[in-house]
Every structure is written in structure tokens, then in C-alpha cells.
Amino acid sequence: MNIMKKTVVQLTMIFAAAILIISCGQDKKTETKESQETTEEKPAEVVIQPMADLDVTDASTDVKFANESVNAIYINYLRVKAALVNSDNALTMKTGSQLFDAIPEDEATKELKATAELLSVTKEIKKQRDFFVTLTDEVEKLIKNEEITSGEVYKQFCPMAFEGQGGFWLSNSKEIRNPYYGDKMLKCGSVKETIK
């Protein structure tokens, strides 16, 4: 009976840890290690494995703009997109803050800067993805007026995003990595325009 009680306690601990991980929105794999060296039972150890970067593609283009400020904005925009692809709300906040810092105070970038600030203080991934639509629109307006000295920007679209309304984003790869769904529909979308 004592062994059965210990097993129930262990299972309860594992179940509680799993619920905690899921409820916090962390999509990390867990594994338990069982010791086979002794006959004495020990509580199972929960190990959280680092998540693979879902934004990695086989090929990407190194985009360079003649304007260094626009270059910095675009690089930081791609970091925000990568954080959303990985459904990492904390990293989205951090990269949103870095993007905010890269945007100059100026009338032409006022909306872009405000949206980056919203991303930097918003904790919910769903709201971050909502703000990313506006962020993409503002970055696109900015880069379309700038000279690209090397590489290409791919404007991509997911028709399923936002309950079928669809959503655009910019990428440095032709391969789709969907920031609106992450691992749920990672490759849902298509390239709609190439900006050179």
C-alpha cells in the first residue's frame, strides 16, 4: 500500500508540472528520468528541454538597405517575426523593445514606433500577433521607399489568420514560417510579392 501511495504522489506531481507548463503557454517538451539502479523508488525528475528554433529555413537572403537606420529596423522586425514564429511571448516583448530603440523619433515612423512599444509591453501572444499586422504594414511602407543594395524581401500571406481575414508579414526567406500560428500551422502561407 505504501508503494501505491508513493506512485500516486509521483503521478500527481508529474500531472501538476505538466498542467503548469501548459497553462503558462510554454510549448516545451518534458521527459522523466527513471532510475533503474536501485529498487527504491524516487520522485520522477522533470527536465525541460530547450525548444528548437522554428524560424530556421534552408535558405535566406541577407537584405541590406542603403539607409542604415532602415537596415536596423528591418533586422529587428525579423527578430520580432522569429519570436512570434516560435510563439515566445517574452522574446517578442524583448525584440519589440529592441525594435522600438532602433526606430528614430520622426513623424514618418511615429505609428511604427508606437506599435513596437505596444509589442514590448504586451504579454499575451494573441495580442502581440494582432499588433504584428500593423507593424508589418508600417515596416512595408518604410522599406518600399528605400533602396535595397542586396537581397530581397518576401511579402508573405496566410489566408487562415484572423478567422479567415488573412495576414501579411515580411521575410528574408521564400520558405514560409508563419508568425500568426507558429508550430500549429508553421508552413501555412505563400509569397505574394518580392521586394527588390
Computed over every residue of the chain, the mean pLDDT equals 82
Q: What is the pLDDT of residue 52?
A: 79
Long-range contacts of 22-31 (CB under 8 A, 24+ apart): 25/87, 25/89, 25/125, 27/51, 27/87, 27/182, 27/183
Tell whether the model's pLDDT for residue 137 goes beyond 50. Answer: yes
Helices (H), the chain: 2-23, 68-85, 89-102, 110-121, 125-144, 161-164
Per-residue confidence band for 39, with pLDDT thresholds at 50, 70 and 90: very low
Per-residue confidence band for 49, with pLDDT thresholds at 50, 70 and 90: very low
The closest of 111, 176, 172, 101 to 139, measured between CA atoms, is: 111
Residues 6 or more apart whose CB falls under 8 angstroms from that of 104 comprise 69
Phi/psi of residue 39, nearest 5 degrees: -85, -15
Q: What is the pLDDT of residue 162?
A: 95
How far is the C-alpha of 40 from the C-alpha of 4, rounded, in Å? 13
Average pLDDT over residues 135-147: 96
What is the tens place of the pLDDT at every residue in 72-113?
A: 999 999 999 999 999 999 999 999 999 999 999 999 999 999
Q: What is the pLDDT of residue 165?
A: 95
Q: Which residue has the higher pLDDT, 77 or 37?
A: 77
- 113 vs 81, 148, 161, CA distance in Å? 16, 22, 24
Tell whether the model's pLDDT for residue 21 goes beyond 90. Answer: no
Average pLDDT over residues 149-169: 96
From the number of C-beta atoms within 10 Å of its C-beta (0-12, 13-18, 19+), residue 78 rates as buried
- 127 vs 29, 115, 187, CA distance in Å? 25, 12, 21
% of the chain at pLDDT higher than 70: 74
Evaluated on CA atoms 78, 80, 81, 87, the torsion sign reads: positive
Q: What is the pLDDT of residue 154?
A: 97
Q: What is the pLDDT of residue 18?
A: 42
What would the grid cell of residue 117 be? 512599444
Residue 96 C-alpha from the chain's centroid: 11
The closest of 38, 30, 65, 34 to 150, measured between CA atoms, is: 65
Q: Which residue has the higher pLDDT, 9 or 166?
A: 166
Torsion (CA) 26, 50, 45, 9 in degrees, nearest 10: 10
Domain locations along the chain: 2-48, 64-195
Tell whether the model's pLDDT for residue 53 goes beyond 60. Answer: yes
